[in-house]
Amino acid sequence: MPVAKGTTVKTAFPTVSGNEENEERNNSESFMKDARGHVRIDARANGPIPKPVPFSYIWGDALEEWDQIQPDLRIINLETAVATSDKFCPGKDINYRMHPNNIPCLSRGKIDFSSLANNHTLDWGYSGLLETMESLGRAHIGFACSRHPDWMRAGFGIL
pLDDT in tens, 51-103: 788 889 888 899 999 999 999 999 999 988 898 888 888 888 778 888 899 99
Residue 11 lies in a domain: yes
- Which residue range forms the structural domain that includes residue 7? 2-153
> By C-alpha distance, which of 148, 111, 110, 106 is closest to 127?
148
Query: Considering only CA atoms, which of 84, 79, 113 is closest in space to residue 96?
Result: 79
Neighbours of 73 (CB within 10 A): 9
In a domain, 35, yes or no: yes
Structural domain contains residue 159: no
Is-contact 38 21, C-beta < 8 A? no
User: For the chain, what is the domain count?
Assistant: 1
Assess if residue 105 is contained within a domain: yes
List pLDDT tens digits, range 21-60.
445 555 555 556 666 777 777 788 888 877 788 889 888 8
Question: Cα dihedral angle (7, 11, 14, 16), rounded to 10 degrees?
Answer: 90
pTM of the model as a whole: 0.76
